Every structure is written in C-alpha cells, then in structure tokens.
Amino acid sequence: MESVWREIELRPGLRVSSFESTPSSDFSFSYQKKNSYLDFGFFLEGAIVNNLYETTTGAHRLENFAGYGGLGFFRELSGMVESAAQVKARIIHLHISPELLYELLVEDIHAVHDDLKNLLENKSDQDFFLHHTMDPIVHAAANELFYALSGGQCSRMYLEGKALELIGLQVMKLESYSGVHNTILTPREVEQIRDVQEHLKENFDVPPSMAELSKAHMMSISKIQSGFQELFGMSVFGFLKEYKLRKARMFFEDGDMNVSEVAWALGYTNLSHFSAAYKKRYGVLPKQFLNSVRERRTAVSACGCF
C-alpha cells in the first residue's frame, strides 16, 4: 500500500489531516518547521516513533502505538519520524489556532488542563506536550473522523462537526486524566486503574472477572470500581460495554465482517443480545448500520471520490 496523506482546511484556524501507510521497508524522514497551531494527534493503528530533537522543552522520543494520543504546541521544532516495515499505520491530526480554541472554550476554560489554559489565556509563552493513552470514547470518535475523511463522501460541515466533537472530548478527557480536582486516588492508584483499563481492552472478548482483576492488580474490587468512576465516569462494566460497542462500530466501518462475526469477535454468545445493545447505543440495528456502510462505500467507489 502506498502512503496516503490527506489534509483539509475546515474553517480559518482549523485543519484536519490524516496519514495511512504500510511501508514495504523500514523508513524514516526528517522535518523542521515553524508552527502557530495546537496539534491534537490520535494514533489509531500501528506504531511510529517521533524523535523531537529541538524544542523549548528539550528533546523527546515519543513511541506512539495504537491507542495513544498527544496534544502539543511547539513554535519551532525539528526531528525524525521512524516506522518499521510491513506495519500498517493510521494517524489523524487536528490543527487548531490558540485563538479559535480559546473562543470555543471560553465558557469552560476553568475545566481545561493547566498547560493548555495558560497558553490560551496568554499567561505562559512556554511550549508544552501531553502524551497519553486515549479514552475509548475518544479513540472511537477519532476513528469515525478518519473514515469520514478517507471516504470522501462527507460534507465539510459534517467533518467540522466531528472535528470539534473530537477536540471537545479530548480537552475534557485530558483534564480528567490529570487527577487534580478533588481526587481520592493516589498517583500510584491512578496508574493501577489505567493498568486495569488496559487489561480489559486487551481481553475485551473474554474479560476477566472483578476478582481476577483485583488479584492481578493488587487492588480491592471497591477501589477498582470507584477508580473507574473517578477517572472515566463509568463503572467497570459500563466501560467494557461501551468499549465493545465502539469496537463493533469500528469493525463495521472496516466493512470486512458481517454482524455475526463482529458479535463473536466481541465475545457475545447471543446475537440478539448484541443487536439489542447496539440499537440501544446507536439507535439502529447493527445489520442496518452495516448495510448503510457498504452502500456508502459502493457509492464512493462509483464516483471515484478521493
């Protein structure tokens, strides 16, 4: 597969770009640029290393894997990107001016991460970078925007709406991750809860029991439950259900699996239960959604968009 780079200006001060590639051999490239935009990055598939050589915060080696995200602002930067052969990579970036983001967030500025807030309010001229694992809701929203952009059939208004939704989700999630507002968790417990989350994501099709999670991560069941409520705003069961349904939508968007295959891949043993859960979450039966995805892809292929 050849590398595909797409970029669209959605409105003055807001751009979206995506990158998709499966290199036949190891590759790397260097870059150097001046910048006046905030960059929200979402790594959806694969692995890419970004070596930042010269920034005002020093040198950084960022190892990005599927499920990682970042928010950065560097007025000047240079570095080198590296990727291994035969590893498919999918990435989407949102580039937004500080002035526009401040205008959008002015009513909620109190809830914004301190580094971002200081930049938007012109209280600091320091560059910054936040690197983190993505919340499953953010990951799914990023995938939706990626496929909408790559499909070519969506209007700019739709793309702009999805981009703003994704920025809004990410800004709020970044603050919830910081754990600075009346937290009842210690830094060590926050790390443990995130490890539990990763454990569930890696075994979503055959999830461990609460007792198994408690033993594996040396936390009480009640602490895990309260930790999930604090960090992610939902119970462990709620998180797992939401993650699986978002995963189902991603599988359908890929267009390679039928409803039964998706249900089995997610660990559902009863197709009716899966269909009911999907309809409750998205307002449409999975079969209907899959048909609409396939019809859309056929229409896009026929018109040769993108």
3-state secondary structure 69-129: EEEEECCEEEEEEEECCCCCEEEEEEEECHHHHHHHHHHHHHHCCHHHHHHHCCCCCCCEE
Give me the mean pLDDT over the 118-133 stretch.
Answer: 82
Q: What is the pLDDT of residue 280?
A: 85
Residues in the chain, how many? 306
DSSP 208-223: PPHHHHHHHHT--HHH
Of 3-7, 80-84, 85-89, 301-305, minimum mean pLDDT range: 301-305
* 255 conformational bin, left if phi > 0, alpha if psi -120 to 50, beta if neither: left
More confident residue, 252 or 154: 252
Q: What is the pLDDT of residue 175?
A: 63
pTM metric for this prediction = 0.62
Give me the mean pLDDT over the 277-290 stretch.
Answer: 87
User: For a pLDDT cut of 90, what percent of the chain falls above it?
Assistant: 34
Of 55-59, 170-174, 205-209, 214-218, minimum mean pLDDT range: 55-59
Q: Is the pLDDT of residue 138 over 90?
A: no
Domains contained in the chain, CATH given: 4-178 (2.60.120.810), 187-296 (1.10.10.60)
Q: Is the pLDDT of residue 74 over 60?
A: yes
HSE on the CB side for 247, CA within 13 Å?
23
Q: Is the pLDDT of residue 109 over 70?
A: yes
Of 20-34, 100-114, 176-190, 290-304, minimum mean pLDDT range: 176-190
More confident residue, 101 or 1: 101
Q: How many helical (H) and strand (E) elements, i.e. helices and strands, does the chain have?
A: 11, 10
Give me the mean pLDDT over the 3-21 stretch.
Answer: 91
Q: What is the pLDDT of residue 164?
A: 94
Q: Is the pLDDT of residue 59 over 50?
A: yes
Give me the mean pLDDT over the 87-98 stretch.
Answer: 90
Report how far residue 223's alpha carbon sits from residue 78's, in angstroms, rounded to the nearest whole number: 43
